[in-house]
Amino acid sequence: MNRNANDDDQLGTLVTKDSLSPACPIRGCTDTSWYADAHDIEYHTSDRTYSFHKCHRCDVLFIVPMLWDRLGEIYPKNYYSYASKKTGIIPRQRSLDWLIVKLLASIPGDRLSVLDVGGGSGWILDQVKSCSPRVSFTQCVDLDEGAQAQAVARGHAYYLGSIEQFETDRRFDLVLALGLIEHVRDPALVLRRIEDLLTAHGRVLITTPNFDALDARLFRHRSWGGYHTPRHFVLFNRQSFTELAEQSGLGVVSFSYKQAPWYWSLAVLDAMRRLGLIEISAQRPVYHHPLYPLLRASFAAFEFARAPFAQLSYMVFTLGRR
């Protein structure tokens, strides 16, 4: 959607590389500087330019402006996860099964409670329940009103709202926050809330992009796919997320890099669009382009070959109470 000139007044001044540095959302640091400009190359919800800034103390990237109060605009109705949750087209993730089985086996108890933050219609919790008969209670926390009925029908409790607002006396043995922490405006607050909801022996499984990867560096000034502009608010590398988790009362139990071939594919398709070779628009998002599956498969093979010795662009953390 196109915006008029008054939008900048409503959203706050757009900070660019020539403007004063904004404060870091982690600690309010002022030791920040412009890092890159980026656009919404996936859904074209706006033609505006967004800036990513880097905090040199916290070693994170953050977007300006951060449209946390305009989620209905930056997450369009054809957003990929909305469609998948409502139609059930997301395939079962066998690698996730293996990881969850391993995690559940490390947690004591005959009856386990599992929370999925941003769990939508509960399709991942379905997988969790199938991984162990000890999982007796499952809870979704999500902002998607349209997913609530499906989640409840699948046997999951559902809270419509943010994890910061979620109140319960129950404590959870496993908390999932998959592809979530980069979407929130205050990651430290979210991690502290998760720590508060965790049992003494509980585990947290978190996945998030890594801005210190090869594709992130190559496409830094080409709207790298991991920016997911403007929906990713704060981006980490391994060290900066580890430090934030520890400051929130959580320690890293295990860590691994994971391939994210879609980040490469998005950048290449956008380059082709800018050259006039293909058409991508709000009506036809990049994920629906016929070249997308082919590119994703090709870059998946490339990332698989690099995996033993490279820092890939997706990170998987298992956390526990310190």
CATH of the domain at 58: 2.20.25
Asked whether residue 32 is domain-assigned, the answer is yes
Residue 268 pLDDT:
95
Number of domains the chain contains: 1
Torsion angle defined by CA atoms of residues 117, 71, 182 and 320, in that order, rounded to the nearest 10 degrees: -20
Residue 45 pLDDT:
93
Q: pLDDT tens, 250-294?
A: 999 999 999 999 999 999 999 999 999 998 888 888 888 999 999
Q: What is the DSSP letter of 34?
A: E
Asked whether residue 23 is domain-assigned, the answer is yes
Asked whether residue 48 is domain-assigned, the answer is yes
pTM of the predicted model, to two decimals?
A: 0.90
Asked whether residue 54 is domain-assigned, the answer is yes
Tokens of 55: 């905090």
Regions of the chain where pLDDT drops below 50: 1-18, 85-92
Domain assignment of residue 57, given as a range: 7-74
Q: Cα separations (Å) of 312 from 41, 85, 130, 214, 289?
A: 21, 27, 29, 7, 25
Asked whether residue 266 is domain-assigned, the answer is no
- 285: cis peptide before it, omega within 30°? no
Residue 3 pLDDT:
33
CA distance 100 to 42: 30
CA distance 258 to 310: 10
Asked whether residue 210 is domain-assigned, the answer is no
Asked whether residue 207 is domain-assigned, the answer is no
CA distance 70 to 284: 22
Asked whether residue 15 is domain-assigned, the answer is yes
CA distance 86 to 179: 18
